[in-house]
């Protein structure tokens, strides 16, 4: 007489069977990706940089400017000489990575340029370096058009 081996019941056999199927594998990968995304979206240590808007309107920038927020202009020296907002700091975009030490780490920074494109690049450089930065949409052209303070005049 031959003895048949009894199969022991494995409570995890349903899970293993599920994971052997492509649909199960895709489900697990999707779930892991979702968890990673949620962690990344909520991380940043709750710093102001993680909660501040990445781009603000000219009106919002002017309010922040009036409240004493640090404003850095990333245009060229020639553009700055033509016109600029008073009490702002010029650091041309191509010099920004090398001059980060001139910017305050403990204050909000609004990055501005002529039309708003270079300020986005400047903001991204600052964010990657750990600064609390946002960019101004519309640029100093719109700032001037709204009648906000300017030294010089656009030509």
Q: Which residues are catalytic?
A: 113
CA dihedral 15, 20, 25, 26 (to 10 degrees): -120
Nearest CA-CA partner of 155 in 64, 86, 81: 81
77 Rama class: left (phi>0) / alpha (psi -120 to 50) / beta = alpha
Tokens of 50: 């993680």
């Amino acid at each position: 007489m031959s003895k048949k081996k009894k199969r022991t019941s494995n409570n995890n056999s349903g899970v293993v069977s599920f994971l052997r199927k492509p649909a199960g594998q895709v489900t697990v990968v999707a779930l892991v990706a979702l968890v990673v995304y949620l962690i990344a979206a909520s991380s940043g240590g709750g710093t102001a940089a993680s909660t501040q808007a990445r781009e603000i309107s000219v009106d919002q920038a002017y309010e922040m400017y009036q409240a004493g927020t640090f404003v850095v202009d990333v245009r060229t020296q020639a553009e700055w000489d033509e016109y600029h907002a008073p009490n702002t700091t010029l650091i041309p975009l191509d010099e920004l990575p090398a001059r980060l030490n001139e910017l305050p780490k403990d204050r909000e920074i609004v990055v501005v340029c002529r039309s708003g494109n270079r300020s986005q690049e400047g903001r991204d450089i600052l964010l990657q370096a750990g600064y609390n930065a946002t960019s101004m949409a519309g640029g100093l052209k719109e700032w001037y058009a709204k009648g906000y303070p300017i030294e010089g005049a656009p030509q």
